[in-house]
Structure 1
Amino acid sequence: MSHRSREPAVIDVVNPTTEEVIGTVRAGTPGDVDAAVTRAVAAFPAWSATSLETRLAVVRGVADALAARTDSLAATMTAEMGTPITFASRVQVPNPVGIARGVADVLAGGYFDGEEIGNSLVLREPIGVVAAITPWNFPLQQMIAKVVPALAAGNVVVLKPSELAPMTADLLASVLTSVLADAGAPEGVFSVVHGTGPVVGEALAVHPMVDMVSFTGSTRAGRRVAALAAETVKRVALELGGKSANVVLDDADLTRAVKIGVANAFMNNGQACSAWTRLLVPASLHDQALEIAVAAASKYEPGDPALPTTRIGPAVSAAQRDRVVGYIRQGISEGAKLALGGPERPTDRGFHVAPTVFGSVLPDMTIAQEEIFGPVLSVLPYTDDDDAVRIANSTIYGLGGAVFSADPARALSIAKRLRTGQVDINGAAFNTNAPFGGYRQSGTGREFGRHGLDEFTELKSIQH
C-alpha cells in the first residue's frame, strides 16, 4: 500500500468459512486508475521495444516463481474465497503455471517472426495499454491468462482483481514486480488497482488511454464493460457465464459418466463458469442416472476447505450463498424433483450451500437456463440424439460441455453439433494450451496458448 495523508476507504477481505475479516485492501478510485494508466502509457515505448529474449525470460520467471510458491498461493486462495486446499494445490496453482509455460513455448516457437503473403510482410505488434479485470473464482488462473500473454506481446497492463480475492493478486504482484525488475523493465509496465467494478472497473473501461479491456466475470457485467469500452472503440475480450451440458449418450458407461459429471459440476464449490451444471441423459435412464448422481453428490459434505479431506467448501460470500439458495427455491417452486440437498443451511458457520441435485428438470425451467454458480446439478431427460443437442444448445450461453459415449466417432459427431467453445469427450483432460472461450453470451475472444496471445496483438501489413 502507498503512504497517504489520510485513510481512504478500505475493503474488508472475509474468510467465507469462518465469516471473519482476515485482511483489508485500499479501495481504489478513478484517480488511482488515471495515475496507473498514465504510468503505463509512459512505460509502453520502452517495454514494447524490449527483446523477445527479455520477455521470454519474464514469462518463464513468472511460471517458475509461481510453482515455487504453490503452498502459499493455494492457502491464500482457500482463505479468501473458500476453494478446497487440495483443489487449490492441484488445479488453482498448477493451471496458471501451465498457462504461463505454454505462452513461453509459443514465444520461443517463432510467434513474432512475421508471415509473408505475396508482397506483404504481416507482423503482430502489441496493442498498448491493457486493462485486465479478473474474477474471484479462479483468481490466479484468470490473472495469469491475461497478464502473462499481454506482457509477453509487449503490452503494458493495469490489473483490477476481484475485491473478493485481492490477497492472491498481491502475491502475484510481488512476483511480477520482482521478475520485471530483474529484467530491467521500466516502472508502470504492470500495476494493480484494487476496488469494485462500478468504480475501478468502469474507470478502466472508459479511460481514453486504455487500448484494450480483457474481462472475465458475469454476462451482465460483461455487457456493461463492452458498452462502456465501445465509446472509445477499445479492443474487448470477454470470458463470461456458462450453463454447460454434459450429454450422456445411451451407449455410454452411465456410472462413470455421471460420477465424472458430478465432480465437474461441484468443482471449486460449484463456482466455475464452465461447470457441467446440466446432466442430459436418455429418458429411459433418467431414474438410474439420478440415483447415481445422488449417491455421488452425497459424498460432497460441506466442510472446512483448509482440510485436505474436504471436497466442497463454502460459497465465496453471503450474497453468493443467498443467490444460490434462491435458485434452489425457484427450482422447487417450478416443479423440479429435489433429489438431494435443498435451501437449508448445512452448517452453523460459513457461507455453505448444501450440494443439491434436481431430477426431472425441463429445459425451460430457470435452473436449466440461468447460471447458478453453486453446487446445484440439474438432470434433464431427452428422447434421442437430436433432442439432446437441441436441449444442450437451448440457453443463451456456449462456454463448455461434455459428451460421453462408447463410440468415439459418435461422441465427436455430437460434440461438433454443440454450440460451445469447449467440449470434453469421455472425461478428457483440461488443456491449458488450447483456446478457452465461449460462443454467444459466454463471451468473445479466446485465452491460453497461441490463441490467447492473438487477443493481445494488432496485425500490421507492410507491402514491399
Structure 2
Amino acid sequence: MSIVTRGLLIGGREIPSTDNRLVDDISPWTGEVYAKVAAASPADVTAAVDAAAAAFPAWAAMRPFQRRKIFLRAADLMEARIENAIATMAGEVGGARPWAKFNVELCVEILREAAAAITQPVGQMLATDTPGARSYAKRVPYGVIAAISPWNAPYILGIRSIAIPLAVGNTVVMKPSEDAPISCGLYLADVLNEAGLPAGVLNVVTDDLKDAGTVVSTLIADPRVRLVNFTGSTNVGRIIGVEAAKNLKPAVLELGGKNALVVLKDADVDYAVKSAIFGAYINSGQICMSTDRVIVVRAIADQFVEKFTKAVDAIPYGDPSDPRTLVGPVVNIRAAKRVSALVKDAISKGAKVLAGSGEIEGPAGTLLKPMLLADITKDMDIFYGEIFGPATVVHVVDTIDEAVALANDSEYGLTGGVISENLMEALDVAERIQTGIIHVNDQGIADEPMAPFGGVKNTGYGRFGGQAGMDAFSATRWITVQERGHAKY
C-alpha cells in the first residue's frame, strides 16, 4: 500500500508546514504508517486564521441559494465516494464496515441538513414601546470559528464540527485528531472544496500530538477566533473550556459519557439483548454514546444475562476490512492497554468475567475480544470510568428506583436507553434519568442531524444539530429602525 502524504489546507491551497515537518498517521490494525501529514506550527495556525478572517466578509454576504448549492454538491460528492470513504476509515482508524458505512451516510445527511438550514428564518420581530419604531432580533455569524474534532466517528463528528458553523456564515479553522487527520479533516475539506467552497472559508491544520497543546492554545488565543467547538474527552474538554473562558469566548463542548441501558421487567428480552450488543460494541465501544452499563431488574436478570453472554461471545471481531467484522481494533496501543487495565483491575477486585478476558491481540496489539463483566463494585475503576472500548458491565437491581439511582450515579450525562413493553413505565424512568438525550425502547447510540445533540454534567455544554445548533453557532443582534420624526431627541 502506498503511503499518502498531505500538507495543510490554508487559503484554498495545500501547503507544507513552515518547518516542513511531517508526522506519521498509523493504522491501528496493521501498525504500519498509513499516511504522513504536515505538522503545523503556531505560525501555520496564525496563517490559517489569517485566511479564514480574510474570507469571512464575502462568505457571510454570499446569497443563501449560492451557499446552499455548495452543500448539496458536497453531499452528492460524498455519497458517490462511499466505498472510498469506507476504505479510508478502515485504513486510518480501524473502523469496521458497518460503522464506516453509517458514518458516511450520516455525514451526507448532515451536509443536506446544513443546506436546508441556510434558508431557515434568521430572526424575529420584537415588541417595542417606541412610537414609529420597528425592533427585531437577527441571528448573525460570529466570524472565525475553531473546530477541534475527534477520531472515533471521523466523518460524522468531523462534518458536524464544521457544517452548521459554515452554513450560518462563519469561516472555520479545523484541527482534526492526530489519529484521524485525513478522514476527520482533510477528506471532508477536499469534498467541500471540490463542491465550490471559496478559498479560505475552511482551513485544516494537522499537527503532531506533542505539539497539540501549543497548536490549540494558539488557535483559541487568536482574537479573530470568536467561538470554539470541541468533541472529545472530558479531561481535554476542561482544558479547552478554560482556555476559551480566559479569552472570553463561548465554547460548545461534547465530552465523555458513562451511558446506561435500563432493562425493565416487561422488556422483550431478545430485543433488549440485541439493543445492548449494538450499544456496547459497535465501533469497538469507541463512541461517546456507547453503552458502558446495562442495568437489568432481577425479575428477568437470569434470562437476560444468559442470552446476553452468549451473544457477546458470538460477536465477530478482527480485521476491520472484513465485511463480517463487527468489532475491529481500538485506535492505538495506548487505548488497548487502558481498556485492558480497566478490565483487569475489575477482575482483580472480584468482578465476574462473563465473556472476553482483557487480553490484547492482533498484529498491532490493538485488538480486544468483546468483554462482559458482572458483580461490579464502586472500588473498581470501571464502575465510574468511561470504558471507550469493546467492554461493558451488567448490574442487577431489585427496583426501578435502584435502576434510576444507579443510572444517575455518574459524573457524565450524555445519553441512555430504557427498554420495556410498558411504555408509560419506561417513559417515567426515562424522564428521571439525568442525560441530555434519552431513548425509550432503544439503546443510547442515535444521531439525527436535525436533533439537538449534547449532554449535561461533565459531558459538557451547548448543542450540535437542529435549531439548537444554529443558535449555538450564531449570535443574536438587536436592531431597531425608526423615522427621524419619531426620535426621542
Aligned sequence identity (%): 38
Partner of 1:55: 67
Task: With the length of structure 1 as denominator, give the TM-score of the two structures.
Answer: 0.94
Between structures 1 and 2, the one with greater strand share: 2
Count of residues in Structure 1 that have an aligned counterpart in Structure 2:
457
State the SS of the aligned residue for 1:263.
helix
Q: 1:87 aligned to 2:93?
A: no
Cα distance per residue 1:114-156 (max 9 Å; x no partner): 2112133111000111000000001111111121101111000
Mapping 1:216-227, distance limit 5 Å:
216-227=231-242
* 1:117 paired to 2:126: yes
SS of 2:109's partner is: helix
Which is further off, 421-430 or 390-399? 421-430
Map 1:312-331 to 2 at 5 A.
Answer: 312-331=327-346
Aligned counterpart in structure 2 of residue 24 of structure 1, from 16, 19, 36? 36
Q: In the alignment, what sits opposite 1:38?
A: 50
Question: Could you tell me which of 173, 179, 182 is aligned with 2:189?
Answer: 173
Paired residue type of 2:190? S
Corresponding residue SS for 1:327: helix
**8 Å Cα contact 1:244/1:275 also seen in 2:** yes
Query: What's the TM-score, normalizing by structure 2?
Result: 0.90
Aligned mates of 1:13, 1:450 — CA distance in 2: 36
Give the conservation status (yes or no) of the 8 Å contact 1:81–1:164.
yes
Q: 1:137 aligns with which of 152, 159, 162?
A: 152
1:3 Cα offset (Å): 5.4
Deviations 1:414-439 (A, max 9, x none): 11111111111112764332111111
Q: CA RMSD in A?
A: 1.7
Displacement after TM superposition at 1:218 (Å): 0.2
Query: Secondary structure of the residue that 2:85 maps to in structure 1?
Result: helix
Tell which structure's C-alpha radius of gyration is larger: 2
Per-residue deviation, 1:17: 1.0
Equivalent position of 2:486 in the other structure: none
| 414-423 or 132-141, larger mean C-alpha shift | 414-423
Letter in 2 for 1:315: V
2:238 paired with 1:238? no
Distance 2:389 2:478 in 1: 47
Partner Cα separation in structure 2 for residue 6 and residue 241 of structure 1? 34
1:57-456 mapped onto 2 (5 Å cutoff) = 57-89=69-101, 91-108=102-119, 110-112=120-122, 114-119=123-128, 120-168=135-183, 169-181=185-197, 185=198, 187-195=199-207, 196=209, 197-362=212-377, 365-427=380-442, 430-456=447-473
Deviates more, 1:4-13 or 1:454-463: 4-13
How far off is 1:4 after superposition?
A: 5.5
Q: Residue by residue, what CA displacement relative to the aligned partner does 1:291-314 show, whole Å, maximum 9, x if unpaired?
A: 222111112232111011111100
Q: Which moved more, 1:96-105 or 1:132-141?
A: 96-105
Secondary structure of 2:203's counterpart equals: strand
Q: Distance in 1 between matches of 2:292 and 2:137?
A: 43
Partner SS for 1:213: strand
Task: Read off the aligned partner of 1:325 and give its amino acid letter.
Answer: S
Equivalent residue of 1:93, what SS?
helix
Show structure 1 runs of 5+ residues with no match: none
- Note if contact 1:254-1:289 (Cα within 8 Å) is conserved in structure 2: yes
Bigger Cα displacement from structure 2, 49-58 vs 209-218 = 49-58
Write the distance in 1 (CA, Å) between the matches of 2:431 and 2:108: 30
Tell which deviates more after alignment, 29-38 or 51-60.
51-60
The letter of the residue matching 1:270 is G
Q: Cα 1:349–1:215, aligned 2, differ >3 Å: closer, same or farther?
A: closer
Task: State the 1:5 CA deviation.
Answer: 9.7
Check whether the contact 1:361–1:381 (CA below 8 A) recurs between aligned residues. no
For residue 233 of structure 1, give the secondary structure of its aligned residue in structure 2: coil
**Structure 1 pair 263–378 and aligned structure 2 pair: CA distance change class (3 A):** same
Q: Is the 8 A contact 1:125 1:153 kept in 2?
A: yes
Task: Name stretches of at least 5 consecutive residues in structure 2 with no aligned partner.
Answer: 1-6, 8-13, 129-134, 482-489
Does structure 2 conserve the Cα–Cα contact (< 8 Å) formed by 1:302 and 1:346? no
Render the CA deviation track for 1:4-36: whole Å, top value 9, x for unaligned: 698633221111111111211011111110110
Question: Kindly tell me: are residues 97 and 244 of structure 1, through their superposed partners in 2, closer, same or farther at Cα, counting changes over 3 Å?
Answer: same
Q: Which shows bigger deviation, 279-288 or 190-199? A: 279-288
